[in-house]
Amino acid sequence: MTNSNFMAFPDGFLWGSSTSGPQSEGIIEGDGKGDSNWDFWYRTSPELFHHQIGPERTSTFYENYQNDLKLLKETGHKVFRTSIQWSRLIPTGRGEINFKAVEFYRNVFKEVNVLGIKLIVNLYHFDLPYCLQEIGGWENKEIVFAYEAYAKECFRLFGDLVDTWITFNEPIVPVEAGYLGKFHYPAKVDARAAVQVAYNTQLASSLAVKACHQNNASHRISIVLNLTPAYPRSQSHEDIKAARIAELFQTKSFLDPSVLGEYPKELVEILSEYGLTPDYTEEELVIIKENTVDFLGVNYYQPLRVQAPQKNKEFDMVTPDIFFEHYDMPGKKMNPHRGWEIYEKGLYDIGINLRDHYNNIEWLVTENGMGVEGEEKFRENGYIIDDYRIEFIKGHLIELHRAIAEGTNCKGYLLWTFIDCWSWLNAYKNRYGLIELNLTTEERIIKKSGYWFKELSEQNGFLNTKES
């Protein structure tokens, strides 16, 4: 027997997608852009990048934005999130403005407004001007105030076109990948540096919130966090503790100060116990306390499954590995193309957590999506039949719908991403877009999911059919 029902979302619910400047714009001669950390890393170590494809190509949005933005309408967008590249706007990180960048961004933002699409602009998506990396990057507190000045310039230059802002996208990722792993530059393992980078980033975010409100009190500003619920292997005391500490590091280290204005007491105690307390002042803590975000962006792809670390394991230095380790849960549902677990209920759990522990703050799903390697094998009659992506989205929306019905304050769902884009060390290995990008011809072709997404947006929901 089949039970069919329509999953209707609240009036005014926003449907759209997210992208970023460094992953979509590309670089052309004479555009005035300065080097970012990614530009430098690719130029010096191209072998680290999949098929040695670097950020100079991406999806050529800089040259093709007018036609690309029209595709937003063709895929039903009500909202669009992109970012400004700091290294494009201020090539040396501090000082002189690149007015070619001002013209480009103003043209993009005007066009989105003309299309009647809600615009959300992010200030930082993993892309630090390299000249600032040369003086220590986010380990150096000077960068905090350089970022504050950059944010103020953005509010001044584009505030007549943009009223909704984001300070940082997934700030924990550069901490983990750049200072506890080797997937972002500077690709080193240094727990003390990681903690200082995290603190400096949070301080910078709070200063941007303050500047935004001072520039225009009616403008709203957020931070985008990849909230990854930590699920313990078992209900043993050791595994539950491991999951709790994992969430302290991965989630609450930015969620609590951004939304509540304070760091979790247990996290502070752990850092103090291991001699990892960052350089800070009481005045800075007041800035963080008094400048919380207006709403929250949430990126969700997969859960974090953890267990207590092996008791006989030896560690060379203090890293999160001494508190918890990954647990490979048998029988989990997988995206076989990307190697990530698919756990739709995680989105429900996030929503209920925000409802119950974070003042039911207004939030958006700012990224959710399914990366697929070798997606061309699913092409039929000239376009990609990505039913797997449609089912992925539906599964997550069912859980989001349930959380909204139970009172969580979610206002929209943004997919990653609208056109296949370049993705850091993975380059174009995994495709996420509603629209296919042909790397050879630069042709854009709407996938089946793009047409379905338009129906989803127009109907403000979808028909959920499941066996019962």
Active site residues: 170, 367
Query: Can you read off the two tokens belonging to residue 227?
Result: 């909230």
Sign of CA dihedral 154, 157, 159, 164: negative
CB 433 within 8 A of CB 447: yes
B/e letters for 70-86, b = 16+ CB within 10 Å, e = fewer, are ebbeebbbbbbbbbbbb
Query: Can you read off the two tokens belonging to residue 70?
Result: 């029209």
CB 176 within 8 A of CB 231: no
Query: Can you read off the two tokens belonging to residue 164?
Result: 């909704």
Residue 317 to residue 188: CA distance in whole angstroms: 13
**Residue 116 backbone zone (phi > 0: left; psi -120 to 50: alpha; other: beta):** left
CB 247 within 8 A of CB 229: yes
Residue 365 to residue 347: CA distance in whole angstroms: 9
Residue 44: phi, psi to the nearest 5?
A: -95, -25
Burial of 210 (0-12, 13-18, 19+ CB in 10 A): middle
- What residues form DSSP beta bridges with 415? 17
Least Cα distance to 226 among 374, 57, 367 occurs for: 367
